[in-house]
Amino acid sequence: MIFRFVFYISTFLYSAILFSQSEFYETDNIREININFYDENWDHLLDSLYVEGEGGRILANIEIDGSTYYSVGVRYKGYSSVSVNYTKNPFNIKLDYLIEDQNHEGIDKLKLSNVIQDPSFLREVLSYEVCRKYMPASNANYANLYIDGVLWGLYTNVQAVNKEFLIENFGSKYAPFFKCNPEELNIQIGGENSNLSNTHGTDSADYMPYYDIESDFGWSNLYHLIDKLNNAPNEIDQVLNVDRTLWMHALNYSMINFDSYIGYGQNYYMYLDQANQFNPLIWDLNMSFGSFRLTDASQLFYGGFDILQAQNMDPLVHHNFISVAPRPLMTSLFESERNRKMYLAHIRTIVEENFLNQEYSTRAESLKEMIYQDVLNDTNKFYSDDDFIMNINDQVSLVSSICPGITQLMDARSEYLSSYPGYFEEPTISNIWTSSDGLIFGNDVWINAEISDATYAHVSYRFGNNQRFVSVEMFDDGTHNDGSAGDGVYGCKIEDCSNSVDYYLYADNDASGVFSPARAAHEFYNMNSNILSGDLVINEVMSNNVSIAADPSGIFEDWIELYNTTDFPISTNNLYLSDNPTNLLKWDLPNHMIPANGYYVIWADEDGNQGEEHANFQLSNTGENITLSNADSTLIDDVSYQMQNIDIAYGRSPNGIGDFTMLTPTFNSSNDMNSVIDDPAGIVLIASPNPFTDHLSINSSSSYSINDLYGRRVMKGSDNVIHTSGWAPGVYFIQMDNGRVAPVKLLKIR
C-alpha cells in the first residue's frame, strides 16, 4: 500500500489562449456586411490592381451588422481564388486605411473568402474550429456580403493573422513575424517555396522573395532558424516550438490539408514568442479535407494523389520515403524517434476527439443547416445547390478534379490512422498529484503519477510564458518519491520552484507515446501558491515620463517597475496590480517569470492593445496609491507616491529594500546610482551625495563638465565643491573631459 502525505497545492488545467476573442467571429452567427464603393467602376479598378500586382486599395464605406465605417481600403485577397473573370472574388478590407485606429470590436482588417474550392461551404470554418483546440488558429464564421445594397453572396469570414491576433494569442506583437508564402513569380509546383530549407544561400537577403516579413525586423532571426533546422536539428528547440510544429503537421495530415507546408511548402506564419522560439501558425484552410490534392513534394505523390490515396495517406511519408523537394520542418524533426511518437500521439488526440466519435459530422450537419438558405440565396457561388447539399457526404466534380465528400474522406481516413503503427498500444497516465514540504515558492516539488505500460516518462514545465518548457525525466525506481520500484508510480522533482508552475506529462514505450493532458502543450496543468510580502516589491514608479524610456511603440508612457528580491524565480501569474484601494484585483498581471534579483516593467497606459505588459490603468501625476496583491487579495506590497517632476522617478533607495525617494530614473535596473567614474587607469572622479540638494562634492583628478538632461552645459571646471542651490531639480550628467568613460547620472531632488 502506498501512503501519500501530500501538501495541497492548487492545481488547474489551463489553456495557452491569453485573451478572449471577439464575438464578431462567433461561429454560430452569420454576419451582414455591406460595402459601398466610392467609384462606380470599382470592379474594374480592383481587377486592374490585381493584374498589376501593386497591392493597392480603393475607398469605400462599409456597414457591419448595422455599424458604419468610413474611408476603408478594399482590395482582392489571395491569388488562386481571384480572377478578373469571377463575379464573386475574395476581399481584404482594411478599416483603418485612412482613419487611424478605426476598428470594429477591436478588429481593423476583414478577410472574406469566396469559397471557390469548397462546394460544401464547410471546410474552412469546420477546420479552424478543430485547429483551435490544439494551437493558436484563426476564428472563422460566415458573412452575407452586399455590394452597394446588392447581395453578392455568402462568404467565409476568417480572422486575420495580424498584430491583433498576436496580442490575443502571444501577448506581444513586436517580435519577428513572417507570412510564409513566396512571391507569386517564385511559386514552384512541387518545389521549395517557403519550406525553410537553406538552399537559397547563406545571406538572409537570399530568402526575401520566399517569405513576407510582417514585422519591423527579423530577417536574421529567420535565417538563424533556417540554419539550425538544416544544420543542427538537435538544437532546433532553442529557436523553434517543436511541439506546436508537430501539432500543425498532425492537423494538416489528419485533415488532408495539403495547400500548406506539407504540400506546397506555404500558407503558414511564423512568430517569435517571448521564449525566443518561432511558432508556426496554420493558415488558409479553404481546401482542407482533400479539396487540394496536387503534389506533396514526396517520392510517392509528386504527381498528386486521388481520393483513395488521400484516405490512406501515410502521415510519415516524408520520413519513410524520399522528399523530392526539401521539407526540413518535417524531415529534421522526424529524425527523432520520440518526436515521431509525440506527433502520432497528437494525431490520435485529433482523430479520437473529432472524427472517430463523429463529432465533426454532427457539427458539419449543424453548420450546413445554419447556412442552408443563405447558400441557396447565393446566385454568384461557384457550384450548384445540389453540389452544396451533396458534398458533406459525397464527392462533387470540379472543373479539373473531384472534391471528395467530407465524411467520405474522413471516415475512411480515421479508420486508417487509428490502425497506423504508433497510434495504438500507448501507455496510460492517471492519478497525477504534487507534493511539497511547504509553499511551492523557493522549494522543491515532487510530481507523481500512476503510469502503466511505459518505458520512459517525463514532466515538462515552465515558470512563465517567457520560458520554454523544459523536461525532467520521471522514474519508477523507488528513489523519486515514487513508492516501491516497479509499482507503476513514477516521480520526479522540480527544484527551486517559482510560485506558479505550468506543466504536463508525457510517456512512451516501444510502440507509441501519450500526453497528459492530451492537448498538451496548448493545454497544461498549473500549480501555484502565494508569495509573501517583500518577495516581490514595487521598486520604482514613473508618472511623468517625458524622455526617459519609450514603450515598444515608441511612446513615453507611465511605468511601474517590479523587483524580485529573492534568489528564486517569481511568476506574476495570479498576481494583481491596482491603483484603486477598494479594488485590489483591478489588473491581472500576465504569466511572466522574473528571474532571481531581476526586474519587470509594466506600462501603466491603459492600452492592452499594445501587449500584455500594458495595465488597464494610468498613473496620476498628482500622486496616488499602487498595490501589488495575490489573487486572494493578500497584500504583497504597496506604495503611495508623490507628485513627480518631469523625468524624475520615485523609487526605493537602497534598491529593493529602502524607503521611497525621488531619484534619477533607472528603468529596468538597480536604483543604486553609480557616483563614480572608473577610468582604465583608476578611479578618477567621485560625486556625492547623489541624489543632491544644494551642493555637490567632486573628487576629481582632471577637469569635468556637467550637462542637464537636454545636453545643455551647466558648468565646466575642476572645483571640489559646487553650490547647486540655484539649479532646477532634475537629471544632470557629469562627464570627464578626457571623454574616455561614460558619464554619471546625477539627480537634484529640490
Residue 180 cell numbers, joined = 510564409
Residue 4 has pLDDT above 70, yes or no: no
Residue 387 has pLDDT above 60, yes or no: yes
Residue 407: what residue type?
T
Q: Is the entire prediction scored with pTM above 0.75?
A: yes
Please spell the DSSP secondary structure of 548-599, one letter per residue: S---TTS----EEEEEE-SSS-EE-TTEEEES-TT-TTSEE----EEPTT-E
Nearest C-alpha neighbor of 665 from the set 518, 501, 550, 521: 550
Residue 738 has pLDDT above 70, yes or no: no
pLDDT in tens, 208-256: 999 999 999 999 999 999 999 999 999 999 999 999 999 999 999 999 9
Residue 629 cell numbers, joined = 496583491
Residue 141 — very low, low, confident or very high, per pLDDT cuts 50/70/90? Answer: very high
- Taking the C-alpha atoms of residue 494 and residue 138, their distance in angstroms, rounded to an integer, is 35
The three-state (H, E, C) secondary structure of 348-376, written as one string: HHHHHHHHCCCHHHHHHHHHHHHHHHHHH
Provide the pLDDT for residue 295.
78
Beta bridge partners of 225: none
- Taking the C-alpha atoms of residue 342 and residue 211, their distance in angstroms, rounded to an integer, is 28
- Taking the C-alpha atoms of residue 571 and residue 433, their distance in angstroms, rounded to an integer, is 21
Q: How many CA atoms lie within 13 A of 726 on its CB side?
A: 4
Q: Which is it for strands 570-571 and 593-594: parallel, antiparallel or unpaired?
A: antiparallel
Residue 314 cell numbers, joined = 501515410
Burial class (CB in 10 A: 0-12, 13-18, 19+), 680: exposed
The three-state (H, E, C) secondary structure of 610-624, written as one string: HCCCECCCECCCCCC
Edge-first strand order for the sheet with 744-748 is: 713-717, 704-708, 730-736, 744-748
- Decide: 290 and 309 in contact? Cβ < 8 Å: no
**Is the model more confident about 398 or about 122?**
122
As a whole number of Å, the CA-based R_g of the chain is: 30
Residue 160 cell numbers, joined = 486575420
Provide the pLDDT for residue 678.
61
Cα of 169 vs its chain's centroid, Å = 5
Q: 747: helix, coil or strand? A: strand
pLDDT in tens, 571-596: 999 999 999 999 999 999 999 999 99
Residue 327 cell numbers, joined = 521539407
Helix (H) or strand (E) holding 418: helix 406-418
Segment 412-434 shows an average pLDDT of 97
Residue 658: what residue type?
G
What dihedral do alpha carbons 556, 561, 567, 569 form, nearest 10°?
A: -70
Residue 101 has pLDDT above 60, yes or no: yes
Buried-exposed string 71-97: b where 16+ CB fall within 10 A, e elsewhere: ebbbbbbbeebbeeebebbbbbbbbeb
The single-letter DSSP state of residue 377 is H
The single-letter DSSP state of residue 323 is B
% residues pLDDT > 70 (the chain) = 94
Mean pLDDT of all residues in the chain?
A: 91
Provide the pLDDT for residue 733.
82
What structural domains does the chain harbor? 170-355 (no CATH), 427-518 (2.60.40.10), 536-663 (2.60.40), 676-748 (2.60.40)
- Taking the C-alpha atoms of residue 152 and residue 383, their distance in angstroms, rounded to an integer, is 15
- Decide: 404 and 158 in contact? Cβ < 8 Å: no
pLDDT in tens, 487-499: 999 999 999 999 9
- Taking the C-alpha atoms of residue 446 and residue 358, their distance in angstroms, rounded to an integer, is 39
Residue 600 has pLDDT above 70, yes or no: yes
Within 8 A by CB and 6+ apart from 683, the residues are 676, 677
Within 8 A by CB and 6+ apart from 143, the residues are 30, 31, 32, 33, 112, 154, 155, 156, 157
- Taking the C-alpha atoms of residue 309 and residue 40, their distance in angstroms, rounded to an integer, is 48
Cα of 556 vs its chain's centroid, Å = 25
Provide the pLDDT for residue 1.
30
CA-CA distances (angstroms) from residue 108 to 59, 73, 94, 283, 623?
Answer: 15, 11, 6, 19, 36
- Taking the C-alpha atoms of residue 144 and residue 468, their distance in angstroms, rounded to an integer, is 42
Cα of 635 vs its chain's centroid, Å = 31
Residue 225 cell numbers, joined = 532558424
Residues in the chain: 750
- Taking the C-alpha atoms of residue 145 and residue 245, their distance in angstroms, rounded to an integer, is 35
Residue 118 cell numbers, joined = 469548397
Provide the pLDDT for residue 289.
97
% residues pLDDT > 90 (the chain) = 75
- Taking the C-alpha atoms of residue 353 and residue 356, their distance in angstroms, rounded to an integer, is 7
For 134-247, list the strands marked E by DSSP: 140-147, 150-158, 177-180, 212-213
Segment 140-157 shows an average pLDDT of 98
Segment 328-334 shows an average pLDDT of 97
- Taking the C-alpha atoms of residue 729 and residue 740, their distance in angstroms, rounded to an integer, is 28
Q: 684: helix, coil or strand? A: strand
Within 8 A by CB and 6+ apart from 530, the residues are 439, 441, 499, 630, 631, 632, 634
Segment 146-160 shows an average pLDDT of 97
The single-letter DSSP state of residue 70 is E
Provide the pLDDT for residue 695.
83
- Taking the C-alpha atoms of residue 247 and residue 135, their distance in angstroms, rounded to an integer, is 7
- Taking the C-alpha atoms of residue 232 and residue 225, their distance in angstroms, rounded to an integer, is 10
Within 8 A by CB and 6+ apart from 139, the residues are 21, 22, 25, 26, 27, 128, 132, 158, 159
The single-letter DSSP state of residue 743 is P
For 38-96, list the strands marked E by DSSP: 58-64, 67-76, 91-94
Burial class (CB in 10 A: 0-12, 13-18, 19+), 308: exposed
Within 8 A by CB and 6+ apart from 419, the residues are none
Q: 383: helix, coil or strand? A: coil
Residue 5 — very low, low, confident or very high, per pLDDT cuts 50/70/90? Answer: very low
Residue 109: what residue type?
K
Within 8 A by CB and 6+ apart from 336, the residues are none
Residue 55 cell numbers, joined = 497591392
Residue 676 — very low, low, confident or very high, per pLDDT cuts 50/70/90? Answer: low
- Decide: 750 and 726 in contact? Cβ < 8 Å: no
